[in-house]
Amino acid sequence: MTQTASPSPVTSRSDRRISADDAADLYLRHRDGILPALAVFDVRDPARYGTSRIPGADHLTESGFMGVARRLPKTTPVLVYCYHGNASQTYAQMFADFRFAEVYSVDGGYEVFAAALAKLEASRSGAPRHSVAPSPALTEFLAHHGFDADDLDATREHGLTPLMRASLEGRADIVEELLAHGVSIARRNMDGNNALWLACVSSNAQVVRQLVAAGIDVDNRNDMGATCLMYTASAGKADMVALLLECGADPSIPNFDDARAVDLAATLACLKLLRHTAR
């Protein structure tokens, strides 16, 4: 049975807050090499930090902030957590004041963050592996793209898994076999997109239906807050917009600029499909 452990909706980042589930997703994507950079800071007291912390997190105090802010590249995404998500917002604003482009305060604090991380790690480590040999077509596909034939969820460039690459190329045959092997549909690439987004890029309706039938998150929001429906509307892909709506995509979801799919419609055809959702 294919796993469908999808991240919960991302907290609006206009106030520099992020849900614990999405923070865990960012953290694991960085740990797996999908996101090239991420600085994680624990702003609790030294005793608590010394007892338990997120692996790789650095302890940060108000007195040590200036040194960190001066040496850390401004392009490095910053993730801050505290006890309950209050003090971390203050530190996140301090980083933002120093013109760090991406700064996130984890809602709920350390305990909630740690629990979300453990849950997401468990869902990934528990993913079933293929028990039968891949077909010649899948073997050739994996070799051509340099994927690990022994780990069908392993990523390559830009954080693409074999399922994402097959979706991008519109390879319904490969998608079908990968899903049969039990690959994870919850994986997201370096931009926070899942395989459905890549299927929409290829405009392959069959692959979209395969992924939806497997339980993929139709309303996954990427690191910019965009859903597949927003992308297809902004790209003028009316057929894909219609298909996603048929598959249950929610047109009322806003991105981080508070724009919905109807606001992003690039063609009259897309606008007509979405006009019933207009404010």
CATH number of the domain encompassing residue 35: 3.40.250.10
The mean pLDDT value of the chain amounts to 90
Do both 200 and 260 map to the same domain?
yes
Is position 162 within any domain? yes
Is position 4 within any domain? no
Is position 87 within any domain? yes
Do both 70 and 174 map to the same domain?
no
CA gap 267, 179 in Å, rounded: 34
For the beta carbon of residue 69, count every other beta carbon within 10 angstroms: 17
> CB within 8 A of 33, min separation 6: which ones?
155
Contact (CB, 8 A) for 35 and 187: no
At 45, the amino acid letter reads D
Give per-residue pLDDT as tens, 252-272: 999 988 999 999 999 999 999
Three-class secondary structure of residue 79 per DSSP:
strand
Active-site residue, 82 included: yes
For the entire predicted model, the pTM comes to: 0.75
Among 125, 158, 192, give the residue marking a domain's end. 125
Give per-residue pLDDT as tens, 119-171: 888 877 644 455 678 899 999 999 999 998 888 998 888 889 999 999 999 99
If one compares 6 and 40, the residue with the highest pLDDT of the two is 40
Do both 115 and 204 map to the same domain?
no
Do both 242 and 109 map to the same domain?
no
Contact (CB, 8 A) for 2 and 182: yes
Do both 87 and 153 map to the same domain?
no
Judged against a pLDDT cut of 50, whether residue 6 lies above it is answered with no
Exposed/middle/buried for residue 155 (C-beta within 10 Å: 0-12, 13-18, 19+): buried
Is position 90 within any domain? yes
Do both 264 and 159 map to the same domain?
yes
Is position 8 within any domain? no
> CB within 8 A of 47, min separation 6: which ones?
none
Among 84, 101, 125, give the residue marking a domain's end. 125
Catalytic residue (choose from 82, 200, 228, 270): 82
Its domain, for residue 25, covers 13-125
